[in-house]
Amino acid sequence: METTYERVEPTHPTHAEHLVDFLSGDTWPFHAVDVVARDQARRWVEDGRYDGPDNRAFWIVRAGERAGLVRLTDLQDDTPLFDLRIRSQHRGRGLGGQALAWLTGHVFTAFPQVRRIEATTRQDNTAMRRALRRSGYVKEAHYRDAWPAADGRVRDAVGYAVLRRDWLSGTTTVPDWDDEPGATGGGRER
């Protein structure tokens, strides 16, 4: 089944309303706000989160349906971020991984100043973590008790990144985790 990516034009009234419908019409269990109210979604659109010099958004279209959304942020920086949302009925079918591969190629191709792309997700978002690894992203950070969840609990967050040079070569390089003189490899320093 063919998947395409179409630029979101939130300044167009119809496009803005589609974006509000999309954001408020599903649940997003691994996002900071898992249920987005229509007025909140509208504010996000009006605030320029989905278009502008530093932001762009793309519909993920499968079989003529808006199955997901990719939002790129910090595009004027050399290390942008992204937000990836897949509608619930399309989750678990590999669409997130396809979108991740597409957005990585798009960013590195369209923005020559970008050296790396970063991603942060909740520790328990195993599908996203698997998609990141398959797309050449490497775990670089683990943030304990860093992600407040809608259920009132606080979860760990994990940070990943892909380097342009790794993307170009098709390889992955991992951080040097043993670079601290005197560190004992995970034990408590005294």
Q: What is the pLDDT of residues 124-176, one digit of tens each?
A: 999 999 999 999 999 999 999 999 887 888 999 999 999 999 999 999 999 98
Q: What share of the chain is helix, strand, coil (3-state, %, to 5)?
A: 30, 30, 40
Task: Please give the Cα distance from 146 to 158 (Å, whole number).
Answer: 9
Topology of domain 3-169 in CATH is Aminopeptidase (3.40.630)
Q: What is the pLDDT of residues 23-47, one digit of tens each?
A: 999 999 898 888 999 999 999 999 9
Every domain of the chain and the residues it spans: 3-169
> Which residues touch 46 (CB under 8 Å, ≥6 apart)?
none
